[in-house]
Amino acid sequence: MGMKHGRAGYSVYRSKQWQALRLAAKRRDGFKCTSCGSRGRLEVHHDKPVRQAPELAYDLHNLKCLCASCHTKQTMAERGYEPKPARVAWLSLLRKEIPQCSNP
């Protein structure tokens, strides 16, 4: 029949079990991004995506906390997207000019 709402893990992310597991992952990772250490808004990322490994959807060892910026970068890399060189150069310049702007 196909995916409901176009997202492979839709039913996973709507469950109470997922909400509890998200909190457990955040606690385990010290409420910070495992990539850059940011303590901003965190998202919980599946190392092996639900669409590829649905049996690992609720496995704590398959999860890690990432800030929104790192999560986007990770997801784009997993999907094969390369950042444009001009954008990388622009972000590098911003980080030099505005030190507190580590992950714009």
Contact 92, 65 (CB under 8 A): no
> What pLDDT score was predicted for residue 100?
60
Q: Which residue has the tokens 């029949």?
A: 1
> For every one of its 104 residues, what pLDDT tens digit does the chain have, with 9 covering 90 and above?
444 445 667 888 899 999 999 999 999 999 999 999 999 999 999 999 898 999 999 999 999 999 999 999 898 888 888 888 898 888 888 888 776 655 54
Cα gap 32→48, rounded to integer Å: 20
Contact 103, 69 (CB under 8 A): yes
> What pLDDT score was predicted for residue 101?
54
Q: 51 Cβ partners below 8 Å, 6+ apart?
A: 8, 9
